Amino acid sequence: MDIQEVIREQVSSNPVVLYMKGTPQFPQCGFSATAVQILKHCGVSAVAAVNVLENDAIRQGIKEFSNWPTIPQLYVGGEFVGGSDIMREMYESGELQQLLADAGAVGQKG
């Protein structure tokens, strides 16, 4: 499986996927930390987090997959949402909460 197929499988088999630097418990950059906090504030209980620092092929491949140059990148319901700035704007308008609720990603504990 090439890296684009791996990424396609990750985003299609998980309701919420966050490609980030580090992990949700230990983000390695401020933008990734912001993205994790926004998802927590939205009530997302399960995020498939992919640490791009652990795999250079994914780190480069995700930029090509989305045609978006920066990380973090959020995918909900298999669709690219954006980075931390877009997440913040959508959160402030309530759009992100609705998108996550529609994807069934909010409020389902363990």
Which residue ranges make up the annotated binding site? 29
Report the alpha-carbon distance of residue 3 to residue 7 in Å, rounded: 6
Residues marked as binding for [2Fe-2S] cluster?
Answer: 29
3 state SS of 17: strand
Residues paired with 74 in a beta bridge = 18, 82
What's the DSSP call for residue 5? Answer: H
Helices (H), the chain: 3-13, 30-41, 56-66, 84-93, 95-102
